[in-house]
């Protein structure tokens, strides 16, 4: 199972004061040398954390794999096509939201998503769809042309304190993961994952990649980024 470290929150800290530091670009070699498998960042329409300058430099120095999260806005899609990350993860975006609020509605926005997947794939980029753990939409995700899906783990993480809800959310993730695997999609998972709730996710079959940001960057404030990444890799059972 691969670990992609989302470095947006380093840029969030920078935005809060309008300073040139801390620079998310500086995080890339630290995260990679700690053993992570990839770098993830989200370029939002409002550019409130990651900017074009960041993405260009991050692309230049990333030696592992770069995954950019984006919505279907044509200007952002065109920018990302020019940058050529290894993966692009399509997410919904609502103005003013604190973080991504849920998975894409791939049934309602079918045509728009299909078109965007085509544009990204023509640029040689592998495309992931960030969706809810709903087994009934995996066939559609495949038909739209996605290579992978990222299962939204937010509901599971929010249910972490309640064993009943927790068990139900894990079952949902398991069914969704199996359905995705069976139609030939690679399965990723992410959102709100942390050191305290990782264990349940490890019981979900077929997940080959986790994308984790907030918990790692938060821990790094106390322990440093290298330790925070290594600790997560250790919990994932990776030999580092």
What residues are labeled active site?
Answer: 42, 69, 191
From the CB of 132, what's the least distance to ligand PXP, in Å?
Answer: 12
Sign of the CA dihedral with 206 first, then 185, 129, and 33 last: positive
Using CB under 6 A as the binding rule, whether residue 72 contacts ligand PXP is answered as no
Give whole-number Cα distances, 124 to 84, 88, 225, in Å.
7, 10, 31
Residue 80 to residues 77, 120, 213, 236: CA-CA distances in angstroms?
A: 5, 8, 20, 30
Q: Which helix (H) or strand (E) holds 24?
A: helix 24-33
When binding is defined by CB under 6 A, the residue of 6, 62, 177, 197 that contacts ligand PXP is 6
How far is 33 from 49, CA to CA, in rounded Å? 24
Residues 130, 172, 209, 228: which binds ligand PXP (CB under 6 A)? 130
Among 42, 49, 59, 230, which residue interacts with ligand PXP (rule: CB under 6 A)?
42
Structure-token pair, residue 117: 């997947």
Cross-strand bridge partners of residue 42: 69
Q: Nearer to ligand PXP by C-beta: 25 or 50?
A: 50
Question: Rule CB under 6 A: is residue 156 a binding residue for ligand PXP?
Answer: no
133 binds ligand PXP (CB under 6 A): no
**Least distance between ligand PXP and beta carbon 157 (Å):** 8
Contacts with ligand PXP by CB under 6 A lie at 6, 8, 42, 69, 89, 91, 99-100, 130, 150, 190-193, 211-215
């Amino acid at each position: 199972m691969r670990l992609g470290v989302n470095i947006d929150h380093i840029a969030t800290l920078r935005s809060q004061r309008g300073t040139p530091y801390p620079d998310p670009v500086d995080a890339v070699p630290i995260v990679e040398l700690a053993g992570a498998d990839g770098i993830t960042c989200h370029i939002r329409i409002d550019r409130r954390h990651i900017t074009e300058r960041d993405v260009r430099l991050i692309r230049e120095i990333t030696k592992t794999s770069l995954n950019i999260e984006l919505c279907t806005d044509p200007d952002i899609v065109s920018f990302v096509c020019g940058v050529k990350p290894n993966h692009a993860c399509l997410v919904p975006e609502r103005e003013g939201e604190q973080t991504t609020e849920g998975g894409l509605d791939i049934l309602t926005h079918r045509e728009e998503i299909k078109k965007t997947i085509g544009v990204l794939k023509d640029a040689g980029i592998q495309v992931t769809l960030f969706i809810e753990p709903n087994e009934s939409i995996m066939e559609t995700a495949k038909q739209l042309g996605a290579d992978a899906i990222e299962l939204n783990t937010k509901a599971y993480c929010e249910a972490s304190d309640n064993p009943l809800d927790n068990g139900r959310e894990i079952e949902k993730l398991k069914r969704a993961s199996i359905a995705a695997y069976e139609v030939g999609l690679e399965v990723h998972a992410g959102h709100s994952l942390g050191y305290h709730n990782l264990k349940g996710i490890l019981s979900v079959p077929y997940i080959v990649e986790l994308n984790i940001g907030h918990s790692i960057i938060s821990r790094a404030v106390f322990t440093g980024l290298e330790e925070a990444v290594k600790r997560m890799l250790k919990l994932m059972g990776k030999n580092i």
